[in-house]
Structure 1
Amino acid sequence: MTFADMASYTSDEVKHMEFIQAVVTRLGNGSFLIKGWTMTVSGVFFGILVNNLSWKLAATGIIPILGFWLLDSYYLRQERLFRALYDEVRVRAAGVAPFSMNVGPYLARVPWGRVVGSRTMVNFYGVLGAVDVAFTVGAVIAAA
């Protein structure tokens, strides 16, 4: 949105959009931190598995990956919901109350399945899960 576009909004509308954008920014930062923790925890598991190949430990490694995947998906869904709210405020939709932060009306627009299976989630967490599965299969084969 350009400065000229902002001139057509009231100060309350601009402040409302700024509040929503602040929430979106915090959610994005939270998602970034979750990905960092995922890499750290997965790296620890993979590092241990390189030196001590155990199918039980490898199978356990998938639990934090799935947990972080779901948590990050929650953050991404919330971010998308607030972006939908921002768009409604931006186009001055009739149903949005001043300074409303209610994303309830947009829940149907952003289903969980689409978020969990989104390209960014699958590419990041799917690769880590595939590596963990490879360690698990390798450990089972080595134990046989």
Structure 2
Amino acid sequence: MEDKRKHLELVQGVINRMASNSFMLKGWAVTLVAGIFALAGKDMDKLYFLVAYVPIIIFWGLDAYYLLQERLYRSLYDKVRQMDKNKIDFSLKATEQEFNSKRNCYGSCLFSRTELWFYLPLAIVCTGIIIITHI
């Protein structure tokens, strides 16, 4: 039983790192967008404002990747949890092929509620600021 507990702790550690990375990406996205707007406000050039969409798109894609990895490791955690204690091999292999489901794919993560409810409003706020400052 101790082997199973250790294996679950290893998987849980990976899940925690993925969640932490996702949180940090969201923070960096907001920081970079705010910084771009601060620099663009000084020059008032439309092209600078449009550059604000670049970090939103890049961080949205990266965040979706980390969410996918987190979901795969949650599936691995569930598999290990149900595994017989004699079959524990301490494998941390969690691939889309092994845990193939509708939920464990990149597209599902990209358009998940947590991603949409963060990055879509950020893009809408950027659009609003661009419209307000250039009327």
TM-score (norm 2): 0.85
Q: Indicate the residue corresponding to 2:27 in structure 1.
A: 36
For 1:52 and 1:124, the matched residues in 2 are separated by 28
Q: Where does 1:51-130 land on structure 2 (aligned, <5 Å)? A: 51-92=42-83, 98-104=89-95, 105-109=98-102, 110-130=104-124
For 2:40 and 2:122, the matched residues in 1 are separated by 14
Shift in Å, 1:52: 4.2
Shifted more, 104-113 versus 81-90: the winner is 104-113
TM-score (norm 1): 0.80
For 1:136 and 1:128, the matched residues in 2 are separated by 12
CA contact (8 A) 1:76 1:115 kept: yes
Q: Where does 1:11-50 land on structure 2 (aligned, <5 Å)? A: 11-50=2-41
Identity within the alignment, %:
33
Structure 1 unaligned regions, length at least 5: 1-9
Root-mean-square deviation (Å): 1.9
CA contact (8 A) 2:33 2:56 kept: yes
Aligned residues between the structures? 130
CA contact (8 A) 1:55 1:135 kept: no
- Among residues 126, 129, 135, which one is paired with 2:129 in the alignment? 135
Structure 2 unaligned regions, length at least 5: none
Shift in Å, 1:107: 4.2
The structure, 1 or 2, with the larger RCO (C-alpha pairs under 8 Å, 6+ apart) is: 1
